[in-house]
Structure 1
Amino acid sequence: MNDFSSRPGIPLRALAPNAITALALCTGLSGAWFAMQGRWENAVAAMVIAGVLDVMDGRVARMLKGESRFGAELDSLSDVIAFGATPALVMYMWVLQDMPRFGWTISVFFVLCAALRLARFNARIDTENQPHKLAGFNTGVPSPPGAALALLPMMIWFETGAEWVRDYRFLGPWLLLCAVLMVSNVATYSWSSIKVRRSLRFMALATVGLFTATLVAAPWVAMIGATIVYAALLPFSAISYARVKKARRVQTEAA
């Protein structure tokens, strides 16, 4: 009887998460293609879908036990393209190309910061002494939320038609701020660092339901709200990490 488990090759469970990552890369990069045609809503939607796929690939990899170093490297490359290069190109074609002298410089700086953030992540992937990670926090703003923050003015324009968000004097500094947040050492919430009290679990479920209903009825309102809430939580995440760090120091000293 043949032993199929000894056959050479890569198991399908290892390819599934990598396929999702590749799909996220292609979908995110398609945002630039839409932008070239002036289809701005499609451009942002492509990056939103890429963000959903980016969340899925890690979950699928852990579920199927298909994690690999190759997958981690591919995921980082996908993030640089989908959430670094594409948002920068879209914002450049939308407004920054009209900015005298520094429009392209700001766009390139955003891509550079996204790449530096992911290079830092890969360099530390085998390092045990990572205070933020051990406490369940991220270091700096991850590239998908960073892209969402960068695209926030465009989403506001979709919903309200406000022209002030299309002013390069506003958009240039805003994109610089988003880039700096990605490479900063600010502790930001991750999924594992967010804890919901038992007394608030029904409220949390109701909030998720409300967000889903809004996403169906008014998608840009939902996306704007979620992005603004994330930005508003950044100071609280830093405070929360400071509390965790202090509690751990007290425990260490007591021990």
Structure 2
Amino acid sequence: MADEPKPDRGTEKLTLIQLLPNMLTVIAICAGLTAIRLGLQGSYEYAVQLILLAAVLDGMDGRLARALKSESGMGAELDSLADFLNFGVAPGFLLYTWALEDSRSFGWLAVLTFAVCAVVRLARFNVQRKSEDKAHDNAYFTGVPSPAGALLVMLPMFLSFAFASGPFLPDMVLALWMVAIGLSMISRIPTWSFKTTRIPRKNAKFFLVAVAFALAAAVTYAWITLVLFCLAYVATVIVMLPRRRRAKTDD
């Protein structure tokens, strides 16, 4: 009996719900591009808020695609391009127009370094994701993820919005900070993946209360809360690093 012909994927119809993850990715791209435009106009707080929105959408689109069983190669590539724009290009460009535009060429070199590190980080992540190596530890990322790198590189802006009226660090310090965060993204440092974190059932209520408190703080004291989130993330990476190394040694 002859095999039945496979349906042409080009004529396959998708529901709007199945397209929702890609729609979120496109919205995130629009947010990143608009952030760059607002940065050129000097509306830095709104620009940063759009990058934060893009980070939230980035955390939603992949999970939504898996939940709806609508994952596709195009969606994965679109997500990578969105990550490069939103977390590799836009944050560095904002920092440049905010504080480094009047600096010498080292400011722009720092932006280029950060962007190149971001695209290399994303390329390495895509290779690992497509790899057949099932022994890869999903509890850890290799290097700082690009969304976290974007938040960390904007930390001087958060501090300024919270406690000052403009850039308060020397241009060279800001440029070196940007380069350091870029290098951390392509480093071999194991960073904790929150995707695999499990909360004991008996502690779930406390976790939900903590989330509610964090959201309330983010709405009331947005920039101070973001500063604390960044510092807490750095502390988490530092604390978890020796544990991860001990685990590798035991293996």
Deviates more, 1:13-22 or 1:145-154: 13-22
Q: Which residue of 1 aligns with 2:109?
A: 105
Unpaired runs of at least 5, structure 2: 1-6
> How many pairs are equivalent?
243
Q: In percent, how many aligned pairs have the same letter?
A: 35
Alpha-carbon contact 2:84-2:122 (below 8 Å) kept: yes
Partner in structure 2 of residue 149 of structure 1 = 152
Asked if 1:192 corresponds to 2:201, the answer is: no
| Letter of the 1:211 counterpart | A
Output one character per residue of 1:18-58: Cα deviation in whole Å (capped at 9) or x when no partner. Answer: 11111111102211111111101001001000000001101
Question: How is 1:111-190 mapped onto 2 (pairs within 5 angstroms)?
Answer: 111-129=115-133, 133-161=136-164, 165-190=168-193
For residue 111 of structure 1, report the CA deviation from its aligned partner: 0.5
The one-letter code matched in structure 1 to 2:100 is L
Quick one: structure 1 residues 105 and 217, their matched pair in 2 at CA, closer, same or farther if it must change by over 3 Å?
A: same
C-alpha spacing 1:243/1:56, structure 2 compared with 1 (3 Å): same
| TM-score, normalised via structure 1 length | 0.87
C-alpha distance after superposition, 1:150-191 (max 9, x if no partner)? 001001100100766442122111101110011111111112
Say yes or no: does 1:29 pair with 2:26: no
Instruction: Report the counterpart of residue 80 of structure 1 in structure 2.
Output: 84
Give 1:100 deviation, angstroms: 1.8
TM-score, length of structure 2 as denominator length: 0.89
Counterpart in the other structure of 2:71: 67
Provide the alpha-carbon RMSD of the alignment: 2.1
Q: Is the contact made by 2:155 and 2:227 (CA closer than 8 Å) also made in structure 1?
A: yes
Counterpart pick for 1:9 among 7, 12, 22 = 12
CA distance in 1, matches of 2:21, 2:75: 8
Q: Which blocks of at least 5 consecutive residues in structure 1 are unaligned? A: 250-255
- For residue 154 of structure 2, give the secondary structure of its aligned residue in structure 1: helix
Q: Which moved further from structure 2: 203-212 or 77-86? A: 203-212
- Residues 1:165 and 1:237: Cα distance change in structure 2 (over 3 Å): farther
| Whole-angstrom CA distance in 2 between matches of 1:179 and 1:114 | 7
